[in-house]
Amino acid sequence: MKHYKLLLPDGSDYIIGTFRGMEAIAGGLLCLVAVGLIAGGHIKAGLIILGVITFFIILFRTTYKVNRRVVMENGVPREITIRFAKFGKTHVYPVANILGLSLRTGSIAGIPLQAELPVEYRDAGKVKVLPLAGSLKAKDMQELWNELEDLLQIK
């Protein structure tokens, strides 16, 4: 079993690591605004903002937990599975149907906001796109792309 930086070994399989996204920065900025409001004497407004932030953090942490896994069989990658914890849905994407990876970045006024690593795959004769991972840094997505290409042996 090879050692990868961003693909974490789990038995014979690999788990695709998670990254911080734009939502983490937005939540942090809103917390700073709420603390500033409380310190400035606007206690009700600050506590309401903190309450809303706490609600959404709990909601996202419990509802949208996603487990992304590369399933190996005899040392050969067989499929990529994505399991949504709260909904119990599991999507299976066979490696044979994967056409390739790409790197997408989004920015406003030259400030990078999000980098995404989608996987293109063929399903029932149609080419579809699966958003596999996202991060604030394109460098992280490039490293994950390189590791997945090495593991899945696709170009």
List the CATH number of the domain containing 96: 2.30.29
Residue 26 vs residues 57, 86, 113, 122, 141: alpha-carbon distances, Å: 12, 24, 11, 35, 20
> Is residue 131 in some structural domain?
yes
Q: Note whether 45 and 100 are same-domain residues.
A: no
pLDDT one digit per residue (tens) for the chain, 155 residues: 677 888 888 888 888 877 777 677 778 888 888 888 888 888 888 888 888 888 887 877 776 667 788 888 877 888 888 877 666 678 788 888 888 888 888 888 877 778 888 888 888 888 888 888 888 888 888 888 888 888 887 66
Query: For the whole model, what pTM was predicted?
Result: 0.72
Q: Note whether 50 and 101 are same-domain residues.
A: no
Domain with 31, as residue range(s), is 24-62
One-letter amino acid at 47 equals L
> Is residue 2 in some structural domain?
no
Q: Note whether 56 and 112 are same-domain residues.
A: no
Q: Note whether 28 and 102 are same-domain residues.
A: no
Q: Please name the residue that has the structure tokens 């309401």.
A: 48
- Residues 54/30, Cβ–Cβ less than 8 Å: no
Q: Note whether 77 and 45 are same-domain residues.
A: no
Number of domains the chain contains: 2
pLDDT of residue 53: 86
> Is residue 1 in some structural domain?
no
| Strand, helix or coil for residue 19 | coil
- Main-chain dihedrals φ then ψ at residue 8, nearest 5 degrees: -95, 125
